[in-house]
Amino acid sequence: MVTRAIVRGVGHYLPARVVENAEFEASLDTSDEWIRSRSGIERRHLAAEGEATSSMAIAAARDALDDAGLTPDDLDAIVLATSTPDLTFPSAATMVQAGLGMTHGFAFDVQAVCAGFVFAMANADAMLATGQARRVLVIGAETFSRIMDWEDRSTCVLFGDGAGAVVLEAAEGAGTGEDRGILSVDLHSDGRHKDILYVDGGTSTGQTGSLRMLGKEVFRHAVEKLADTAHAALDKAGLTGADVDWLVPHQANLRIIKATAQRLQLPMERVIVTVQDHGNTSAASIPLALSVGKDRGQIREGDLVVTEAIGGGLAWGSVVLRW
Ligand code: UT7
Protein backbone atom coordinates (compact mmCIF):
# COMPACT_ATOMS: atom_id res chain seq x y z
CA MET A 1 0.00 0.00 0.00
CA VAL A 2 1.15 3.57 -0.71
CA THR A 3 -0.19 6.99 0.21
CA ARG A 4 -1.62 8.83 -2.80
CA ALA A 5 -2.56 12.51 -3.04
CA ILE A 6 -6.02 12.46 -4.57
CA VAL A 7 -7.90 15.49 -5.91
CA ARG A 8 -10.85 16.01 -3.60
CA GLY A 9 -12.00 19.31 -5.10
CA VAL A 10 -11.12 21.92 -7.72
CA GLY A 11 -12.10 25.54 -8.29
CA HIS A 12 -11.12 28.79 -9.92
CA TYR A 13 -11.60 32.53 -10.06
CA LEU A 14 -11.32 34.91 -13.01
CA PRO A 15 -11.53 38.70 -12.69
CA ALA A 16 -14.67 40.22 -14.23
CA ARG A 17 -12.90 42.44 -16.76
CA VAL A 18 -12.37 40.75 -20.13
CA VAL A 19 -10.05 42.38 -22.67
CA GLU A 20 -10.47 41.27 -26.28
CA ASN A 21 -7.44 41.28 -28.62
CA ALA A 22 -8.94 44.10 -30.69
CA GLU A 23 -8.71 46.47 -27.70
CA PHE A 24 -4.90 46.48 -28.07
CA GLU A 25 -5.17 47.79 -31.64
CA ALA A 26 -5.92 51.29 -30.31
CA SER A 27 -2.67 51.65 -28.35
CA LEU A 28 -0.20 49.23 -30.00
CA ASP A 29 1.02 48.31 -33.48
CA THR A 30 -0.68 44.91 -33.30
CA SER A 31 -3.80 43.14 -34.52
CA ASP A 32 -6.33 40.57 -33.42
CA GLU A 33 -5.17 38.48 -36.39
CA TRP A 34 -1.49 38.51 -35.29
CA ILE A 35 -2.24 37.62 -31.66
CA ARG A 36 -4.71 34.87 -32.63
CA SER A 37 -2.52 33.26 -35.28
CA ARG A 38 0.77 33.42 -33.32
CA SER A 39 -0.56 32.46 -29.87
CA GLY A 40 -4.17 31.23 -30.09
CA ILE A 41 -5.17 33.90 -27.57
CA GLU A 42 -8.45 35.74 -28.20
CA ARG A 43 -9.09 37.43 -24.85
CA ARG A 44 -7.82 37.55 -21.27
CA HIS A 45 -9.17 38.57 -17.86
CA LEU A 46 -7.43 41.43 -16.07
CA ALA A 47 -7.62 42.15 -12.34
CA ALA A 48 -9.46 45.28 -11.22
CA GLU A 49 -7.82 47.91 -9.08
CA GLY A 50 -7.95 46.55 -5.55
CA GLU A 51 -7.82 42.93 -6.68
CA ALA A 52 -4.58 41.12 -5.92
CA THR A 53 -3.06 37.68 -6.19
CA SER A 54 -4.18 36.83 -2.64
CA SER A 55 -7.79 37.96 -3.15
CA MET A 56 -8.12 35.94 -6.36
CA ALA A 57 -6.47 32.97 -4.63
CA ILE A 58 -8.97 33.18 -1.75
CA ALA A 59 -11.89 33.13 -4.21
CA ALA A 60 -10.45 30.10 -6.05
CA ALA A 61 -9.75 28.37 -2.73
CA ARG A 62 -13.35 28.85 -1.58
CA ASP A 63 -14.60 27.42 -4.88
CA ALA A 64 -12.32 24.35 -4.51
CA LEU A 65 -13.34 23.84 -0.86
CA ASP A 66 -17.04 24.03 -1.86
CA ASP A 67 -16.44 21.47 -4.59
CA ALA A 68 -14.73 19.20 -2.03
CA GLY A 69 -17.49 19.72 0.55
CA LEU A 70 -14.84 20.88 3.04
CA THR A 71 -14.07 23.98 5.11
CA PRO A 72 -10.73 25.64 5.96
CA ASP A 73 -10.85 23.74 9.29
CA ASP A 74 -10.30 20.55 7.31
CA LEU A 75 -7.00 21.74 5.79
CA ASP A 76 -3.51 21.16 7.20
CA ALA A 77 -1.55 23.33 4.77
CA ILE A 78 -1.70 25.77 1.87
CA VAL A 79 0.88 25.82 -0.92
CA LEU A 80 0.49 28.76 -3.30
CA ALA A 81 2.37 28.93 -6.58
CA THR A 82 2.92 32.52 -7.68
CA SER A 83 5.56 34.89 -9.04
CA THR A 84 3.35 37.90 -8.38
CA PRO A 85 2.71 37.92 -4.61
CA ASP A 86 0.96 41.04 -3.27
CA LEU A 87 4.10 41.99 -1.33
CA THR A 88 7.70 40.77 -1.29
CA PHE A 89 6.74 39.20 2.03
CA PRO A 90 4.81 37.81 3.84
CA SER A 91 3.87 35.07 1.42
CA ALA A 92 0.58 35.37 -0.44
CA ALA A 93 -0.18 31.92 1.01
CA THR A 94 -0.29 33.27 4.56
CA MET A 95 -2.62 36.05 3.36
CA VAL A 96 -4.88 33.36 1.93
CA GLN A 97 -4.66 31.45 5.22
CA ALA A 98 -5.83 34.57 7.10
CA GLY A 99 -8.46 35.36 4.46
CA LEU A 100 -9.96 31.89 4.88
CA GLY A 101 -10.01 32.36 8.66
CA MET A 102 -7.56 29.49 9.13
CA THR A 103 -5.42 29.88 12.26
CA HIS A 104 -3.89 26.40 12.37
CA GLY A 105 -1.51 24.56 10.03
CA PHE A 106 0.99 26.28 7.77
CA ALA A 107 1.15 28.11 4.45
CA PHE A 108 3.91 29.12 2.06
CA ASP A 109 4.54 30.22 -1.53
CA VAL A 110 6.35 28.30 -4.25
CA GLN A 111 8.03 30.32 -6.99
CA ALA A 112 8.74 28.48 -10.22
CA VAL A 113 7.01 31.00 -12.51
CA CYS A 114 4.80 29.31 -15.14
CA ALA A 115 5.84 25.87 -13.87
CA GLY A 116 4.88 26.88 -10.31
CA PHE A 117 1.71 24.79 -10.06
CA VAL A 118 3.53 21.63 -11.11
CA PHE A 119 6.24 22.31 -8.48
CA ALA A 120 3.59 23.08 -5.84
CA MET A 121 1.72 19.84 -6.60
CA ALA A 122 5.01 17.91 -6.31
CA ASN A 123 5.67 19.57 -2.96
CA ALA A 124 2.19 18.83 -1.63
CA ASP A 125 2.42 15.24 -2.87
CA ALA A 126 5.65 14.76 -0.92
CA MET A 127 4.12 16.23 2.25
CA LEU A 128 1.10 13.95 1.97
CA ALA A 129 3.23 10.89 1.21
CA THR A 130 5.39 11.48 4.29
CA GLY A 131 2.43 12.14 6.59
CA GLN A 132 3.28 15.81 7.25
CA ALA A 133 -0.26 16.69 6.20
CA ARG A 134 -3.52 14.90 5.37
CA ARG A 135 -5.13 17.68 3.29
CA VAL A 136 -3.31 20.37 1.34
CA LEU A 137 -4.84 23.23 -0.62
CA VAL A 138 -2.68 23.84 -3.70
CA ILE A 139 -3.28 27.13 -5.49
CA GLY A 140 -1.88 28.80 -8.59
CA ALA A 141 -2.62 32.54 -8.64
CA GLU A 142 -1.10 35.36 -10.65
CA THR A 143 -1.54 39.05 -11.39
CA PHE A 144 0.84 39.29 -14.36
CA SER A 145 -0.95 42.46 -15.49
CA ARG A 146 1.06 44.22 -12.75
CA ILE A 147 4.43 43.20 -14.23
CA MET A 148 3.65 44.01 -17.87
CA ASP A 149 5.34 46.67 -19.94
CA TRP A 150 2.13 47.88 -21.63
CA GLU A 151 4.20 49.40 -24.45
CA ASP A 152 5.90 46.10 -25.33
CA ARG A 153 3.61 44.45 -27.89
CA SER A 154 5.72 41.27 -27.87
CA THR A 155 4.69 40.44 -24.27
CA CYS A 156 1.73 42.47 -23.00
CA VAL A 157 -0.83 40.89 -25.36
CA LEU A 158 0.03 37.39 -24.14
CA PHE A 159 -0.71 37.36 -20.41
CA GLY A 160 -3.77 37.40 -18.17
CA ASP A 161 -4.76 37.24 -14.49
CA GLY A 162 -6.59 34.55 -12.53
CA ALA A 163 -6.39 31.77 -9.97
CA GLY A 164 -7.13 28.06 -9.72
CA ALA A 165 -6.99 25.66 -6.78
CA VAL A 166 -7.21 21.99 -5.90
CA VAL A 167 -7.69 20.27 -2.55
CA LEU A 168 -5.41 17.25 -2.27
CA GLU A 169 -6.19 14.56 0.29
CA ALA A 170 -4.11 11.56 1.42
CA ALA A 171 -5.66 8.20 0.53
CA GLU A 172 -4.39 4.65 0.38
CA GLY A 173 -3.56 3.24 -3.03
CA ALA A 174 -2.37 -0.14 -4.27
CA GLY A 175 0.80 1.38 -5.73
CA THR A 176 -0.24 0.78 -9.34
CA GLY A 177 -1.07 3.08 -12.27
CA GLU A 178 -4.74 2.31 -11.64
CA ASP A 179 -4.71 4.22 -8.32
CA ARG A 180 -6.47 7.54 -8.06
CA GLY A 181 -4.22 10.49 -7.16
CA ILE A 182 -0.75 11.70 -8.11
CA LEU A 183 1.11 8.81 -9.74
CA SER A 184 4.38 10.45 -10.73
CA VAL A 185 6.28 13.71 -10.87
CA ASP A 186 9.14 14.89 -13.10
CA LEU A 187 10.85 18.23 -12.33
CA HIS A 188 13.72 20.16 -13.93
CA SER A 189 15.37 23.55 -13.98
CA ASP A 190 18.35 25.06 -15.78
CA GLY A 191 19.40 28.47 -14.50
CA ARG A 192 21.66 29.13 -17.48
CA HIS A 193 18.58 30.32 -19.38
CA LYS A 194 17.75 33.22 -17.04
CA ASP A 195 18.05 35.88 -19.73
CA ILE A 196 15.35 34.56 -22.08
CA LEU A 197 12.50 35.09 -19.60
CA TYR A 198 12.77 37.29 -16.51
CA VAL A 199 11.42 40.35 -14.71
CA ASP A 200 13.86 43.25 -14.73
CA GLY A 201 13.14 44.30 -11.13
CA GLY A 202 13.39 43.14 -7.55
CA THR A 203 15.64 43.90 -4.61
CA SER A 204 18.51 44.59 -7.01
CA THR A 205 16.66 47.58 -8.48
CA GLY A 206 14.17 48.60 -5.82
CA GLN A 207 11.39 48.47 -8.45
CA THR A 208 8.89 45.71 -9.20
CA GLY A 209 10.07 45.64 -12.82
CA SER A 210 8.53 44.32 -16.03
CA LEU A 211 8.51 40.96 -17.76
CA ARG A 212 11.07 40.54 -20.55
CA MET A 213 10.95 37.59 -22.91
CA LEU A 214 12.76 36.34 -25.98
CA GLY A 215 9.63 34.56 -27.20
CA LYS A 216 11.22 32.57 -30.01
CA GLU A 217 13.89 31.15 -27.70
CA VAL A 218 11.36 30.18 -25.02
CA PHE A 219 9.17 28.62 -27.72
CA ARG A 220 12.06 26.42 -28.91
CA HIS A 221 12.79 25.14 -25.39
CA ALA A 222 9.10 24.62 -24.65
CA VAL A 223 8.40 22.41 -27.65
CA GLU A 224 11.37 20.18 -26.85
CA LYS A 225 11.21 20.05 -23.04
CA LEU A 226 7.46 19.74 -22.43
CA ALA A 227 7.01 16.52 -24.38
CA ASP A 228 10.20 15.10 -22.81
CA THR A 229 9.07 15.81 -19.25
CA ALA A 230 5.56 14.45 -19.88
CA HIS A 231 7.08 11.29 -21.36
CA ALA A 232 9.43 10.96 -18.37
CA ALA A 233 6.57 11.33 -15.88
CA LEU A 234 4.47 8.75 -17.75
CA ASP A 235 7.45 6.36 -17.78
CA LYS A 236 7.86 6.74 -14.01
CA ALA A 237 4.19 5.78 -13.56
CA GLY A 238 4.58 2.79 -15.88
CA LEU A 239 2.16 4.36 -18.36
CA THR A 240 2.28 5.54 -21.98
CA GLY A 241 0.59 8.19 -24.11
CA ALA A 242 -2.06 5.61 -25.02
CA ASP A 243 -3.23 5.58 -21.36
CA VAL A 244 -3.79 9.35 -21.24
CA ASP A 245 -7.37 10.65 -21.14
CA TRP A 246 -6.47 14.35 -20.83
CA LEU A 247 -3.37 16.40 -21.46
CA VAL A 248 -3.74 19.58 -19.36
CA PRO A 249 -0.84 21.72 -20.55
CA HIS A 250 0.37 25.10 -19.37
CA GLN A 251 -1.62 27.53 -21.50
CA ALA A 252 0.95 29.85 -23.07
CA ASN A 253 0.58 29.32 -26.80
CA LEU A 254 -1.75 27.11 -28.84
CA ARG A 255 1.09 26.27 -31.23
CA ILE A 256 3.21 24.94 -28.33
CA ILE A 257 0.21 22.97 -27.02
CA LYS A 258 -0.40 21.41 -30.46
CA ALA A 259 3.28 20.56 -30.96
CA THR A 260 3.47 18.90 -27.53
CA ALA A 261 0.28 16.90 -28.11
CA GLN A 262 1.66 15.76 -31.46
CA ARG A 263 4.94 14.63 -29.86
CA LEU A 264 2.92 12.69 -27.29
CA GLN A 265 0.79 11.27 -30.14
CA LEU A 266 -2.37 12.66 -28.53
CA PRO A 267 -5.22 14.03 -30.70
CA MET A 268 -6.37 17.54 -29.77
CA GLU A 269 -9.71 16.02 -28.65
CA ARG A 270 -7.81 14.80 -25.59
CA VAL A 271 -6.26 18.18 -24.72
CA ILE A 272 -7.88 20.76 -22.42
CA VAL A 273 -7.43 24.16 -24.10
CA THR A 274 -8.33 27.43 -22.38
CA VAL A 275 -5.60 29.71 -23.74
CA GLN A 276 -8.08 31.40 -26.12
CA ASP A 277 -10.09 32.74 -23.17
CA HIS A 278 -7.45 33.21 -20.44
CA GLY A 279 -4.18 34.04 -22.20
CA ASN A 280 -1.09 32.96 -20.29
CA THR A 281 -1.88 33.10 -16.57
CA SER A 282 1.49 31.60 -15.56
CA ALA A 283 1.15 29.39 -12.44
CA ALA A 284 -2.64 29.74 -12.53
CA SER A 285 -3.06 28.28 -16.00
CA ILE A 286 -3.08 24.56 -15.16
CA PRO A 287 -5.45 24.69 -12.16
CA LEU A 288 -7.71 27.03 -14.17
CA ALA A 289 -7.72 24.50 -17.02
CA LEU A 290 -8.38 21.61 -14.60
CA SER A 291 -11.33 23.47 -13.10
CA VAL A 292 -12.78 24.59 -16.44
CA GLY A 293 -12.18 21.08 -17.86
CA LYS A 294 -14.16 19.58 -15.01
CA ASP A 295 -16.95 22.18 -15.35
CA ARG A 296 -17.19 21.44 -19.09
CA GLY A 297 -17.75 17.75 -18.22
CA GLN A 298 -14.47 16.74 -19.86
CA ILE A 299 -12.42 15.55 -16.85
CA ARG A 300 -14.20 12.82 -14.86
CA GLU A 301 -13.29 10.60 -11.92
CA GLY A 302 -10.89 7.86 -12.97
CA ASP A 303 -9.46 9.80 -15.96
CA LEU A 304 -5.69 9.82 -16.40
CA VAL A 305 -4.51 13.43 -16.54
CA VAL A 306 -1.04 14.65 -17.57
CA THR A 307 -0.07 18.20 -16.69
CA GLU A 308 3.09 19.90 -17.95
CA ALA A 309 4.53 23.43 -17.80
CA ILE A 310 7.65 25.49 -18.48
CA GLY A 311 8.58 29.00 -17.47
CA GLY A 312 11.25 31.41 -16.29
CA GLY A 313 14.39 29.83 -14.87
CA LEU A 314 14.00 27.92 -16.98
CA ALA A 315 11.96 25.60 -14.76
CA TRP A 316 9.75 22.85 -16.15
CA GLY A 317 8.06 19.62 -15.20
CA SER A 318 5.10 17.30 -15.34
CA VAL A 319 2.68 15.65 -12.92
CA VAL A 320 0.68 12.56 -13.87
CA LEU A 321 -2.46 11.92 -11.85
CA ARG A 322 -5.62 9.88 -11.96
CA TRP A 323 -8.61 12.14 -11.24
O1 UT7 B 1 4.66 30.91 -20.02
C2 UT7 B 1 6.03 31.01 -20.10
C3 UT7 B 1 6.49 30.44 -21.34
N4 UT7 B 1 6.27 31.37 -22.44
C5 UT7 B 1 6.00 30.89 -23.62
O6 UT7 B 1 5.84 29.70 -23.78
C7 UT7 B 1 5.97 31.83 -24.79
C8 UT7 B 1 6.76 31.24 -25.91
N9 UT7 B 1 6.81 32.04 -27.12
C10 UT7 B 1 5.72 32.29 -27.88
O11 UT7 B 1 4.61 31.96 -27.53
C12 UT7 B 1 5.93 32.96 -29.22
O13 UT7 B 1 7.32 33.02 -29.49
C14 UT7 B 1 5.35 34.39 -29.30
C15 UT7 B 1 3.82 34.32 -29.35
C16 UT7 B 1 5.80 35.19 -28.10
C17 UT7 B 1 5.82 35.09 -30.57
O18 UT7 B 1 5.53 34.32 -31.72
P19 UT7 B 1 6.66 34.09 -32.83
O20 UT7 B 1 6.03 33.37 -33.94
O21 UT7 B 1 7.84 33.45 -32.17
O22 UT7 B 1 6.96 35.56 -33.31
P23 UT7 B 1 8.30 36.39 -33.21
O24 UT7 B 1 8.64 36.71 -31.80
O25 UT7 B 1 9.34 35.73 -34.03
O26 UT7 B 1 7.86 37.71 -33.92
C27 UT7 B 1 7.53 37.72 -35.30
C28 UT7 B 1 7.27 39.14 -35.72
C29 UT7 B 1 8.39 40.10 -35.32
O30 UT7 B 1 8.57 41.03 -36.38
P31 UT7 B 1 9.79 40.85 -37.41
O32 UT7 B 1 11.02 40.92 -36.57
O33 UT7 B 1 9.57 39.51 -38.04
O34 UT7 B 1 9.58 42.00 -38.33
C35 UT7 B 1 7.83 40.84 -34.13
O36 UT7 B 1 8.36 42.14 -33.99
O37 UT7 B 1 6.10 39.64 -35.08
C38 UT7 B 1 6.37 40.90 -34.43
N39 UT7 B 1 5.53 41.02 -33.29
C40 UT7 B 1 4.26 41.47 -33.33
N41 UT7 B 1 3.52 41.92 -34.36
C42 UT7 B 1 2.25 42.30 -34.08
C43 UT7 B 1 5.81 40.68 -31.99
N44 UT7 B 1 4.74 40.92 -31.22
C45 UT7 B 1 3.76 41.42 -32.02
C46 UT7 B 1 2.44 41.83 -31.81
N47 UT7 B 1 1.74 42.26 -32.88
N48 UT7 B 1 1.85 41.79 -30.59
Q: What is the pLDDT of residues 287-302, one digit of tens each?
A: 999 999 999 999 999 9
Please indicate, yes or no, whether residues 152 and 242 belong to a single structural domain of this protein. Answer: no
Please indicate, yes or no, whether residues 166 and 267 belong to a single structural domain of this protein. Answer: no
Cα–Cα distance, 271 to 252 (Å, whole number) = 14
- Interhelix angle 53-68/285-295, rounded to 10 degrees, is 40
| CATH code, domain carrying 261 | 3.40.47.10
Residue 231 annotated as catalytic: no
Please indicate, yes or no, whether residues 60 and 31 belong to a single structural domain of this protein. Answer: yes
Please indicate, yes or no, whether residues 151 and 240 belong to a single structural domain of this protein. Answer: no
Considering 127, 153, 173, which residue would you say is the last residue of a domain?
173
Please indicate, yes or no, whether residues 233 and 139 belong to a single structural domain of this protein. Answer: no
Please indicate, yes or no, whether residues 152 and 14 belong to a single structural domain of this protein. Answer: yes
pLDDT of res. 135: 98
Please indicate, yes or no, whether residues 88 and 186 belong to a single structural domain of this protein. Answer: no
**In terms of residue numbers, what domain contains 205?**
181-322
Residue 156 annotated as catalytic: no
Nearest ligand 1 atom to the CA of 155 is 16
Cα–Cα distance, 296 to 291 (Å, whole number) = 9
Q: What is the pLDDT of residues 32-62, one digit of tens each?
A: 999 999 999 999 999 999 999 999 999 999 9
The percentage of residues in the chain with a pLDDT greater than 70, rounded to a whole number, is: 100
- Give the confidence band of 220 by pLDDT, cuts at 50, 70, 90: very high
Query: 154 CB under 6 A from ligand 1?
Result: yes
Could you give the C-alpha distances from 154 to 195, 257, 315, in angstroms and in order?
A: 16, 19, 21
Please indicate, yes or no, whether residues 167 and 192 belong to a single structural domain of this protein. Answer: no
Considering 122, 146, 173, which residue would you say is the last residue of a domain?
173
Q: What 3-state class would DSSP assign to 108?
A: strand
Query: 214 CB under 6 A from ligand 1?
Result: no
pLDDT of res. 290: 98
Residue 280 annotated as catalytic: yes
Please indicate, yes or no, whether residues 309 and 187 belong to a single structural domain of this protein. Answer: yes
Considering 133, 156, 173, which residue would you say is the last residue of a domain?
173
Mean pLDDT confidence for 239-245: 96
The percentage of residues in the chain with a pLDDT greater than 90, rounded to a whole number, is: 100
Does the global pTM surpass 0.85? yes
Q: How many domains does the chain have?
A: 2
- Give the confidence band of 158 by pLDDT, cuts at 50, 70, 90: very high
Please indicate, yes or no, whether residues 142 and 283 belong to a single structural domain of this protein. Answer: no
Mean pLDDT confidence for 1-16: 97
pLDDT of res. 43: 98
| CA 198 / ligand 1 centre spacing (Å) | 16
Catalytic residue, candidates 12, 21, 45, 114: 114
- Give the confidence band of 128 by pLDDT, cuts at 50, 70, 90: very high
Nearest ligand 1 atom to the CA of 280 is 1
Please indicate, yes or no, whether residues 163 and 305 belong to a single structural domain of this protein. Answer: no
Mutational pocket test of ligand 1: of 219, 221, 316, the residue with most ligand atoms within 8 Å of the beta carbon: 219
Phi-psi region of 209 (alpha: psi -120 to 50; beta: other; left: phi over 0): left
Mean pLDDT confidence for 108-130: 98
**Beta strand 43-46 pairing with 17-20:** antiparallel
Query: 216 CB under 6 A from ligand 1?
Result: yes
Please indicate, yes or no, whether residues 19 and 160 belong to a single structural domain of this protein. Answer: yes
Query: 153 CB under 6 A from ligand 1?
Result: yes
**Beta strand 181-189 pairing with 315-322:** antiparallel
